[in-house]
Amino acid sequence: MTTHDSRSARRPDPDQPLVDVADYVVDHVIDSSEAYDTARLMLLDSLASAMLAMKFPECVKHLGPIVPGATLPGGSRVPGTSHELDPVQAAFAIGTQIRWLDFNDTWLAAEWGHPSDNLGAILAVADYLDRRAQRDGGTELTVRDVLTWAIKAHEIQGCYALKNSFNRVGQDHVILVRLASTAVATAMLGGTRQQIVAAVSNSWIDNGALRTYRHAPNAGPRKSWAAGDACRRAVIHAINAVERGVAGYPSALSAPTWGYYDVAFHGRPFEFERTFGSYVMENVLFKISYPAEFHAQTAVECAMQLHDRVVDRIDQIEKVVIETQEAGQRIIDKTGPLANYADRDHCIQYMVAVPLLFGRLRAEDYGDDVASDSRIDALRERMIVRENPQFTRDYQDPDRRYIGNAVEVFFRDGSSTGRVAIDVPIGHRKRRAEGVPLLLKKFQNAVRAHFPAQRAALIEQACSDAQTLDSMRVQRFVELFTL
């Protein structure tokens, strides 16, 4: 928080966080091969999540024009559909697809979130720009460019999340999607350093969405399109700055009384653990095996290991003890009736009960048909969730970033399954070699389930070689995914 005279109309220099983001987006050269290798996996994983979401009508209904007929031939395409939209609405649609099933990548720190949400804005703007370049003779964009922007968006979102907890002040993590997407989309559109600062300042002035839609008693499906909404707003800010010269607000963060810090962050300035580079993409977490809120991923793995030991003794269970991190206990420890899909996929008890009973956890298992099985809620009522301080310390350690959980089932005869504990899920950097084949299988299965066999084969071939994929024009890449 600054101390300049709030009565003075003299414009201050831009707040340093605005400048730092603009400098990074404009100047920083990504030279990490690991970051690019991981970014390719992120791209495939995100599109797999998007194609899997196409099975759900509640998602599909969000993907078209905002009003009937408001299409833009030659605009941005929406993967898995035939829609051609303006880049603002396409950013919303793609961001919604990727996030719908809670199955795309994750970042856990003081704030948690899903950095590949930014791909909604990046892919929409890139497709629009590359199609325009072909039409008007401009500079082509390749998938490599998309990966570069994605690495930078991941870095902005993730580095802000390391030390700054927006959920602690009641705001949803998509505020960082809007920030990162605004910065990179403005640069993609050809914005200058000053225009990026202006766009980002307007993003902060938007303040943040309340995260009440992620928590009881208001948990609901807005959490599945909130990131798309952030992408949409980001592209609006980018277009306003570059195409319309909309003014920025240099002390949008620090202005006494009226700035973001005083209004929304208890007067505290942002804190940063590291400078921007490519750390976040290199360390990002993938949801490979289970569409489960990430704090529960290892709990699901534990429950899967215990399934065979309990499936024939469900009626003999006295209690199930789940140990988790402080963050996990705070956001997904949920008792009582669960109203809908969104309630269930953010309840650690539900996410443990289903694999204990059925030996699986799929997106469909959050639906009403499966949830109506009375054994699930009966088992939830016998669960005890508690924090394991070591899991919390390992979660907060920047050199570990573990997401540990443990599960033990106790029976009425005094016996138990024994405690099963797992520190890192299969999508963690420390298990990357184990996870990559499964991630590629997730992509393959999603593509084959949505597209005719011949198109699926073309997509798989195009994505099988890194050099071929990197050099492909964006419009051709997106075209492969359209109907």
Written as one string, the DSSP assignment of 308-325 is HHHTT-GGGEEEEEEEE-
**In degrees rounded to 5, what are phi and psi of residue 435?**
-85, -30
Average pLDDT score over residue span 318-331: 95
Mean pLDDT, residues 432-444: 95
Q: Is 285 helix (H, G, I), strand (E, B) or coil?
A: strand
* Residues 86-111: tens digit of each pLDDT: 999 999 999 999 999 999 999 988 89
Where does the pLDDT of residue 289 fall: very low under 50, low under 70, confident under 90, or very high at 90 and above?
A: confident
Per-residue pLDDT at 261: 98
- 386 and 322 in contact (C-beta within 8 Å)? yes
Instruction: Please spell the DSSP secondary structure of 379-443, one letter per residue.
Output: HHTTEEEEE-HHHHHHHH-TTT----EEEEEEETTS-B---EEESS-TTSGGGHHHHHHHHHHHH
Residue 9 has pLDDT above 90, yes or no: no
Comparison of pLDDT for 289 and 388, the residue scoring more: 388
Q: Report which secondary-structure segment, H or E, holds 377.
A: helix 374-380
Question: In the sheet that 383-387 helps form, which strands lie side by side, from edge to edge?
Answer: 383-387, 317-324, 405-411, 420-422
pLDDT score recorded for residue 291: 87
In this prediction, residue 4 carries a pLDDT of 53
In this prediction, residue 216 carries a pLDDT of 83
Q: What is the mean pLDDT of the chain?
A: 95
Average pLDDT over residues 265-274: 97
Q: What is the pLDDT of residue 331?
A: 87
Q: What SS3 state is found at 473?
A: strand
> What CATH number was assigned to the domain covering residues 294-425?
3.30.1330.120
CATH 1.10.4100.10 boundaries in the chain: 16-283
Q: DSSP per residue over 61-112, as a string?
A: TTSS-SSTT---TTSEE-TTS--EE-HHHHHHHHHHHHHTTS-S-BEESSSE
16-283 to CATH, choices 1.10.4100.10, 1.10.533.10, 1.20.1250.20, 2.40.30.10: 1.10.4100.10
Segment 11-40, tens digit of pLDDT: 999 999 999 999 999 999 999 999 999 999
pLDDT score, position 2: 45
Nearby residues of 212 by Cβ (< 8 Å), 6 or more positions away: 170, 218
Q: Could you give phi then psi for residue 317, rounded to 5 degrees?
A: -75, 130
Its pTM stands at 0.90
Q: Which two tokens stand for residue 375?
A: 């054994």
Confidence category of residue 1, pLDDT binned at 50, 70, 90: very low
Q: How confident is the model at residue 449 (pLDDT cuts 50, 70, 90)?
A: very high
pLDDT average, residue stretch 191-213: 97
Instruction: Tell me where in the chain the CATH 3.30.1330.120 domain(s) lie.
Output: 294-425
Token pair recorded at residue 224: 């599945």
Q: Using pLDDT thresholds of 50, 70 and 90, give the confidence band for residue 230.
A: very high
Flag whether pLDDT at 5 surpasses 70: no
User: β-strands 383-387, 112-113: how paired?
Assistant: unpaired
Please tell me the distance from the alpha carbon of residue 429 to that of residue 435, in angstroms, as a whole number: 9
99 or 341, greater pLDDT: 99
Q: Cβ of 243: how many Cβ atoms within 10 Å?
A: 12
Instruction: Tell me what the mean pLDDT of segment 410-419 comes to.
Output: 97
pLDDT at 196 over 80: yes
pLDDT tens digit sequence for 38-50? 999 999 999 999 9
The whole-number average pLDDT for the span 454-469 is: 97
**What pLDDT sits at residue 133?**
96
Report pLDDT for 376: 97
DSSP 13: P
What secondary structure does DSSP assign to 125-176, as a single string? HHHHHHHHHHHHT----BHHHHHHHHHHHHHHHHHHHHH--SGGGTB-THHH
Three-state secondary-structure class, residue 113? strand
3-state SS, residue 210:
strand
Tokens encoding 411: 């029976």
Q: Tell me if 238 sits within 8 A of 245, measured CB to CB.
A: no
Tokens describing residue 388: 């394991």
